[in-house]
């Protein structure tokens, strides 16, 4: 057994004293559950993850240390693809509009559409004039005609889809020929049959704690789905770049789990869904190992 395995085992054991992990694994992850999870967790993302900001995703660090503007990494990458005026861009699962707002301000000549579930007053977000807000589900993009967008992107959101294949097909339909899909998400680099029981449980618990489905997370299948309809698919493992954000979360969650009074206090005064985030925050620095349990990838696919 190596250090990672011991540590994961110890942490799961300790978490199990305070949270029913089997009940967590059996929880629904349908749209209703996801909506509730974000209603209860947005304040956690604001205060703990993005330190007062609106990002609901990992920062991308270029120098191995955590900086607050690492959260712009995904949007900046999408910006490198906006090389013509008047391009049309769709962000699926836009959350609190962190990425689209940045891009809309940087590229005032482009038109942006931001879509998220009808939840936490999404349409009330203040947005620049070149942004259209739409409440909806990316599993059904039939409100958009074929060939509508030059770029469609999703940051840590398509992980919620039960069938990633279906979502990639929906996006393919609304992309213009030559248009690009960009995804940033966490995956399992090995098929579940090749994972040890502990690896599988750790990955499943970390996903479940963020209300993410435990199904269809194998990266090999993601590549297969994309290569079936997109002409060029580039998958880049950038796990190393999100580890500074994960290390920071790990420290915060270590403090939480080392202080039983804090857990009791937090469980008493904060919603259950918000408390569950501590589980993901305390596992992911260990499970995001790149080639064994979880990997964080940037995907670019061309229609
Ligand atoms: C981790 S947050 C990321 C938010 C945003 N992309 C960001 O980077 O800050 C995931 C978002 O995906 C949204 N989401 C999950 N399932 C969805 C679906 N089926 N259709 C549209 N949005 C969805 C959630 O409501 C949530 O806002």
* 139 CA: nearest ligand 1 atom: 19
Residue 7 neighbours by CB under 8 Å, 6+ apart: 286
Q: What is the dihedral of CA 170, 122, 98, 25, to 10 degrees?
A: -70
Which stretches in the chain have pLDDT values below 50?
A: none
pLDDT on residue 12: 98
CA 212 to chain centre: 9
pLDDT on residue 2: 87
DSSP sequence for 71-118: GGHHHHHHHTT--STT-EEEEES-TTSHHHHHHHHH-TTSEEEEEE-S
Instruction: Kindly report the backbone phi and psi dihedral angles of residue 262, in degrees, each rounded to the nearest multiple of 5, phi listed first.
Output: -70, -40
> How many angstroms is it from 4 CA to the middle of ligand 1?
30
pLDDT on residue 222: 98
> How many angstroms is it from 1 CA to the middle of ligand 1?
37
> How many angstroms is it from 199 CA to the middle of ligand 1?
26
Q: Is any ligand 1 atom within 6 A of the Cβ of residue 101?
A: no
Please, which residues bridge with residue 232 across strands?
302
**Six-digit token pair at 289?**
């190992």
> How many angstroms is it from 94 CA to the middle of ligand 1?
6
Residue with tokens 């993009």: 141
Q: Which of 34, 70, 90, 159 to mutate to test the pocket of ligand 1 (most atoms within 8 A of CB)?
A: 34
Checking DSSP bridges between strand 175-187 and strand 149-155, what pairing results, if any? parallel
> How many alpha carbons lie under 13 Å from residue 114 in its C-beta half-sphere?
24
Calculate ∠ Cα 262-263-266, nearest 5°: 80
Residue 222 neighbours by CB under 8 Å, 6+ apart: 164, 187, 235, 299
Number of independent structural domains in the chain: 1
Q: Is any ligand 1 atom within 6 A of the Cβ of residue 156?
A: yes
Q: What is the CATH number of the domain that holds 195?
A: 3.40.50.150
Q: Is any ligand 1 atom within 6 A of the Cβ of residue 139?
A: yes
Confidence (pTM): 0.97
- Helix, strand, or coil (residue 66): coil
> Alpha-carbon distance 242 to 183, whole Å?
15
Q: Write out the residue range of the structural domain in which residue 194 sits.
A: 3-302
**Six-digit token pair at 167?**
């979502």
pLDDT on residue 188: 98
> How many angstroms is it from 116 CA to the middle of ligand 1?
6
pLDDT on residue 1: 67
């Amino acid at each position: 057994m190596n250090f990672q395995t011991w540590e994961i085992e110890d942490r799961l054991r300790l978490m199990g004293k305070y949270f029913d992990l089997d009940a967590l694994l059996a929880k629904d992850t349908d749209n209703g559950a996801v909506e509730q999870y974000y209603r209860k967790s947005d304040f956690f993302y604001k205060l703990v993850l993005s330190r007062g900001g609106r990002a609901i995703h990992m920062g991308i660090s270029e120098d191995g240390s955590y900086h607050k503007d690492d959260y712009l990494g995904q949007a900046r990458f999408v910006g490198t693809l906006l090389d013509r005026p008047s391009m049309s861009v769709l962000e699926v699962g836009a959350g609190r509009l962190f990425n689209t707002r940045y891009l809309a301000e940087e590229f005032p000549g482009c038109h942006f559409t931001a879509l998220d579930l009808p939840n936490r007053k999404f349409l009330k977000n203040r947005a620049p004039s070149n942004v259209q807000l739409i409440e909806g589900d990316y599993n059904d993009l039939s409100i958009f005609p074929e060939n509508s967008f030059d770029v469609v992107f999703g940051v840590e959101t398509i992980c919620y889809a039960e069938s990633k294949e279906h979502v990639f097909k929906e996006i393919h339909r609304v992309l213009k020929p030559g248009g690009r899909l960009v995804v940033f998400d966490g995956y399992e680099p090995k098929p579940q049959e090749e994972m040890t029981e502990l690896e599988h449980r750790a990955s499943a618990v970390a996903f479940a704690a963020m209300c993410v489905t435990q199904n269809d997370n194998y990266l090999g299948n993601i590549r297969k789905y994309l290569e079936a309809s997109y002409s060029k698919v580039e998958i880049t493992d950038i796990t190393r770049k999100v580890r500074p954000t994960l290390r920071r979360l790990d420290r915060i969650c270590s403090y939480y789990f080392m202080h039983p009074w804090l857990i009791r206090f937090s469980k008493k005064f904060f919603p259950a869904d918000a408390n569950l985030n501590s589980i993901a925050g305390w596992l992911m620095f260990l499970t995001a190992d790149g080639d064994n349990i979880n990997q964080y990838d940037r995907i670019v696919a061309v229609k």
